[in-house]
Amino acid sequence: MDATTLIAIASIITAGLTTSVGCIAPALGEGKAVSSALTSLAQQPDAAPTITRTLFVGLAMIESLAIYAFVVSMILIFANPFWNQIIAK
């Protein structure tokens, strides 16, 4: 195997792992956050606006992790910085 093939294989495997872990972890976090928010709303219905607002901010932060993982995997597949070194040789 030459260097180009090794970089392609490593990039594809890393992109797959990044996408899988980067989607599973935030999904679990979002589920736990929604579950906790629903429990809090059931116990204190008067605090619904505060809990809901905090929940949506937290969900946005959690979802940003999945978006960052997706961006990293797309960079590894389509704009890999290691290709420039191989092409220059």
Q: pTM to 2 decimals?
A: 0.75
CA distances to 15, 19, 23 from 74, in Å: 7, 9, 14
pLDDT value, residue 64: 94
Side-chain-facing half-sphere of 62: CA atoms under 13 Å: 18
Task: Write the pLDDT tens digit of every residue in 5-57.
Answer: 888 888 899 999 999 999 999 999 999 999 999 999 999 999 999 999 999 99
- Top-level CATH class of 3-81? mainly alpha
Report domain extents, the chain: 3-81
Q: Cα torsion for 64, 67, 69, 73, to the nearest 10°?
A: -160
